[in-house]
Amino acid sequence: MKPKPGRTADDAISRSAVPLLDDEDGIGAAHAEDRRFVWALARGLEILRAFGPEHTALSVGRLSTMTGMAKPTVSRLTHTLAALGYLRVVDKRGHYAPTPAVLTLGYPVLSALKVQDAAAAPMQEMAEATGCLVGMAARDRLSMVFAQCAPPPWLATLRLGTGSRVPMATSALGRAFLAGLGEVERDFLFGRLALRHGVEWEALGPRVADGIAQVSARGFCIVDGEWQRDVRTAACPLVTAHGVMALMAGAPGYTITNETLENEVGPRLVALAAKLSPLIGS
Amino acid sequence: MKPKPGRTADDAISRSAVPLLDDEDGIGAAHAEDRRFVWALARGLEILRAFGPEHTALSVGRLSTMTGMAKPTVSRLTHTLAALGYLRVVDKRGHYAPTPAVLTLGYPVLSALKVQDAAAAPMQEMAEATGCLVGMAARDRLSMVFAQCAPPPWLATLRLGTGSRVPMATSALGRAFLAGLGEVERDFLFGRLALRHGVEWEALGPRVADGIAQVSARGFCIVDGEWQRDVRTAACPLVTAHGVMALMAGAPGYTITNETLENEVGPRLVALAAKLSPLIGS
DNA sequence: CAGATGCGTTTCGCTAGGCAACACAAAAAC
DNA sequence: GTTTTTGTGTTGCCTAGCGAAACGCATCTG
């Protein structure tokens, strides 16, 4: 851990055209000797990241154990976030919860993707026609994060929406995304995924590769029950000016057959991707 | 933004149950003497906030002038945000743009509000029935930020969506929100608004008060062309377990009359609010 | 082609913030 | 009621990050 002046490996990564990430969980060892890296900011964002559908309100101590930071540190960061309006205190015991202010942070992305005007209508249309939940997602670290989601009116079991995440390796969305990527980035992510999934990658890796092969063969891939039991999904890559993303359509197993997914939903998804691809981005 | 001596009131404010804000633009003089306040985090978030629909990609120098921070500081913060995956470099000239990763920050709020399951369907239904864009919003500083937005399929002119913002004083949404607030907070925000709008508040203030009176009288208020020319909007407060929010329905002037807004859309909006109110929150 | 301008990054002194340990308040257990 | 547990907010100490000015490195300009 000697001060190494000039360029570090992280520097090269962060400068590359594709901003490649650190490890999935935690910001621990990465950027250890990057003099330009601002830890306070990283830690503060890690606090915001700790909240999720399962944990809508958290105390300082809980955040401390979850993130691995010292309590006083967490206390100051939550205090700061509260003063800025991103968090608020929800009870006497000092539980913090995110406020709608955090939504403004995501807005520039959604507007840049022109999701609101261009993509929403055709996605909603397809959702109603096929009975599938139709979603558009991009990569964040080793997950896919939804930018837009069109649920069919009657389907309430699949709880996904803007900002929610699914794992890259076990979802159709993630495999379609990988299929849309260039050689270099795909290999890089494969390495990361292998690292993350450890020994089970031996069985998982070939299935991911198979998904990619499916995309090469017919434009989309299918995952049946692998990400969540009884959820069938088709997905295809979506290459735009803003980078590679992916489209997916899925439904509970009892509302759709693999044949329908294969013969109707999949091709329709590919058509939708072709239609949206030039519209997205400036 | 120099450290300003003297005890500030912000500390007390930020500790109160209702986390009331600092001034709208910039984080300048606020929290000057607060020892628990982490500036690095505040500055980093200010960087993210600087992006918007108008500025989807910004250079270090531009960010520096926009936020008032020194260039090296901005450089480090953007470097950090890029390393964390929230920003990426979009061209050779070093312009930064937000990535979909920022969407994950907003997700806990959306899931806590149960927007995806509970609110989306009835809002969409009303949008299609009335031809209005229907939206749900909460306060951020002195703006209202959309948590959910249901556009009617054919309407493409109103560009609003999750995370977008409208001013509090000149929008029906903001006035309805103020009407739903308690005495103390409303007075506080009135003070802030007066401060912000300066001399024109003399004319604006009474119109805001009139909006609140409208809500008291019939449950909703109407703004015709005041926020944007040729946009007519009705809005009503939405009191939930997560705090006060507001619902709105609006359309371009040439697609809807004030009578329709008054007699059909407004009452329907109030009914929608009554229906959603118990559903939102845990 | 030399000089000039604009832009992003680096150097370095100084200050703010992270860490460890302690002190304290409130529930929960007994 | 006392103790235990859990959890938050304060102190010294030292590292990490902020800011002013200097530095490389492009592109303009005559």
- The residue with greater pLDDT, B236 or A23, is B236
CB-CB contact of B280 with B114 (8 Å): yes
Going residue by residue through chain A, which has 282 residues, state the pLDDT in tens, using 9 for 90 and above: 323 333 333 332 222 333 333 444 444 445 556 778 888 898 889 888 888 877 888 888 888 888 888 888 888 888 888 888 898 888 777 888 898 889 988 888 888 887 767 788 899 889 989 999 999 999 998 999 999 888 887 766 777 888 899 999 999 999 999 999 999 999 999 999 999 999 999 999 999 999 999 999 999 999 999 988 889 999 999 998 878 999 999 999 999 999 999 999 999 999 999 999 988 865
Question: What does the pLDDT look like over B184-206, one tens digit per residue?
Answer: 999 999 999 999 999 999 999 99
Task: State the Cα–Cα distance between residues A86 and A50, nearest whole angstrom.
Answer: 13
Phi, psi of B247, deg, nearest 5: -110, 150
Q: A207-221, B157-171, B266-280 — which is least confidently predicted?
A: B157-171
A66 CA – C23 C1', rounded, Å: 25
pLDDT for B12 beyond 50: no
DSSP class per residue in chain B: -PPPPS--SHHHHHHSSS-----SS-S-STTTT-TT--HHHHHHHHHHHH--SS-SSB-HHHHHHHHT--HHHHHHHHHHHHHHTSEEE-STT--EEE-GGGHHHHHHHHHHTTIIIIIHHHHHHHHHHH--EEEEEEEETTEEEEEEEE--TT--S----TT-EEESSSSHHHHHHHHHS-HHHHHHHHHHHHHHHGGGHHHHHHHHHHHHHHHHHHS-EEEESSSSTTEEEEEEEEEETTEEEEEEEEEEGGG--HHHIIIIIHHHHHHHHHHHTTTS--
Contacts with A, B 165-184, CB within 8 Å: 165
pLDDT for B20 beyond 80: no
Cβ–Cβ below 8 Å for B111 and A36: no
CB-count exposure of residue B83 (10 Å: 0-12, 13-18, 19+): buried
Phi, psi of B176, deg, nearest 5: -65, -40
pLDDT for B120 beyond 70: yes
- For CA atoms B176, B180, B184, B185, the dihedral sign is negative
Cβ–Cβ below 8 Å for A86 and B15: no
B55 neighbourhood in chain A, CB within 8 Å: 108
pLDDT for B24 beyond 60: no
Nearest nucleotide to A76, CA against C1' atoms: C17
pLDDT reported for residue A248? 96
Euclidean distance between the first and final Cα of chain A, in Å? Answer: 44
Domains with residue ranges and CATH for chain B: 10-103 (1.10.10.10), 105-276 (3.30.450.40)
Q: Which helix (H) or strand (E) holds A243?
A: strand A243-252
User: B281: pLDDT confidence band, cut at 50, 70 and 90?
Assistant: low
